[in-house]
């Protein structure tokens, strides 16, 4: 899906992903000391906004101008100290190269692209992680096709924790968590169901 299609999708709804941060982002990062954060495929910026409110200097990157404009409008309703901690960058992750070693936290949350493109994005994301920093990758797991609900229905853009670890082999990052996690969602009949996500958190060791 190209940026124009995503612009249309974001324009058709008030908040495509809701206003709250992703539950796994909260769980995995709320104990970290604030620093510089990079949110790749940020959409409307829900995770970047949450991080900025907690003292992070957050850069939100997405290729949808509509999503970024909405994120800026959401930021305008927040206190000045939150707005001042946010940067918005329109860029295609297929070519975007963040500064090397510049971020204490890098998020790649629900980016679903073919495997070769995913690997390139993740390796550039890994390069951006500073010593002592964290890379968090979350997305719909391949098992979601048969064991969960929602998300992309194309296995070619889904992944497992092992896929992410293989993508990042040799980058110098050390795994801290790599697992399938279940997220409560509304089922197709309105009842309670679960989506199956892949979650991988890695850290770059500090020099000894």
The pTM (predicted TM-score) of the whole model is: 0.92
By C-alpha distance, which of 138, 134, 136, 149 is closest to 181? 138
How large is the angle between the packed helices 46-53 and 65-76, nearest 10 degrees?
30
**Per-residue DSSP letters for 22-70?**
PHHHHHHHTTSPP-EEEEET-TT-HHHHHHHHTT-EEEEEES-HHHHHH
List, for residues 113-147, the tens digit of each pLDDT value: 999 999 999 999 999 999 999 999 999 999 999 99
- Name residue 203's beta-bridge partners: 134, 174
pLDDT value of residue 49: 97
Residues in contact with 199: Cβ distance below 8 Å, sequence separation at least 6, in sequence order: 24, 28, 136, 137, 138, 161, 177, 178, 179, 180, 181
Sign of the four-CA dihedral 59, 160, 16, 190: negative
pLDDT value of residue 27: 98
By C-alpha distance, which of 38, 78, 29, 31 is closest to 58? 38
**Share of residues in the chain with pLDDT > 90 (%):** 86
pLDDT value of residue 135: 99
Tens digit of pLDDT at every position of the chain (208 positions): 555 654 455 444 565 545 699 999 999 999 999 999 999 999 999 999 999 999 999 999 999 999 999 999 999 999 999 999 999 999 999 999 999 999 999 999 999 999 999 999 999 999 999 999 999 999 999 999 999 999 999 999 999 999 999 999 999 999 999 999 999 988 777 778 999 999 999 999 999 8
At 114 the three-state DSSP class reads: coil
Task: Give the side-chain half-sphere CA count within 13 A for 173.
Answer: 33
Task: Write out the two tokens for 26.
Answer: 């909260």
Q: Return the H-helix or E-strand segment holding 122.
A: helix 115-127
pLDDT value of residue 74: 93
Strands 192-203 and 103-109: unpaired
pLDDT value of residue 9: 54
Distance between first and last Cα of the chain: 44
> What is the rounded distance in angstroms from the CA atom of residue 115 to the CA atom of residue 144?
17
């Amino acid at each position: 899906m190209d940026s124009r299609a995503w612009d249309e999708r974001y324009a058709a709804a008030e908040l495509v992903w809701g206003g709250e941060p992703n539950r796994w982002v909260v769980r995995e990062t709320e104990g970290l000391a604030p620093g510089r954060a990079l949110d790749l495929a940020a959409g409307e910026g829900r995770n970047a906004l949450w991080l900025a409110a907690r003292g992070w200097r957050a850069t939100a990157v997405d290729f949808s101008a509509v999503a970024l404009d909405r994120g800026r409008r959401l930021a305008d309703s927040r206190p000045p100290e939150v707005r001042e901690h946010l940067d918005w960058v329109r860029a295609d992750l297929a070519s975007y190269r963040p500064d090397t070693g510049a971020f204490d936290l890098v998020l790649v949350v629900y980016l679903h692209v073919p495997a070769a493109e995913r690997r390139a994005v993740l390796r550039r994301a890994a390069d951006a992680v500073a010593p002592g920093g964290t890379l968090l990758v979350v997305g719909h797991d391949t098992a979601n096709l048969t064991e969960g609900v929602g998300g992309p229905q194309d296995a070619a853009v889904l992944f497992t924790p092992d896929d992410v670890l293989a993508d990042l082999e040799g980058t110098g990052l050390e795994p801290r968590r790599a697992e399938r996690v279940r997220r409560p969602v509304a089922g197709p009949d309105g009842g309670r169901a679960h989506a199956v996500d892949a979650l991988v958190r890695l850290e770059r060791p500090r020099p000894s």
